[in-house]
Amino acid sequence: MATQAVLRALLEDPTRPRYGFDIAGQAGIATGSLYPILARFEHLGWLDSYWEDTAEVQDGRPRRRYYRLSTNGAASAREALDRVGRRVPRAWRPAGGTA
């Protein structure tokens, strides 16, 4: 379920770079669960990532690593969620959406 939540969060705007804490918040999961998922997606070629330029860092916070779905990753993510949606019995699906 965490993997699906991350995919849904990333697919809301696949071309927008997002940092981990932002993705975790939207997906409703802990960052400790998020980063292994992001690493797996990056290894599969579904994600592109880069470190924030040090000149952009504000208020002494650490640099952020940004993630965004690659073109193939967005298509693969949609297909994966579609496959999962077909396997989940309709009675178990939340109202107005897929599992």
How much is the pLDDT for 99? 47
pLDDT single digits (tens) 28-45: 999 999 999 999 999 999
Per residue in 16-25, pLDDT (tens digit) is 999 999 999 9
| Reported pTM | 0.78
Residue ranges and CATH numbers for the domains of the chain are 2-53+63-85 (1.10.10.10)
- d(Cα 61, Cα 89) in Å, to the nearest integer? 45
Kindly calculate the radius of gyration of the chain based on its CA atoms and give it in whole angstroms. Answer: 15
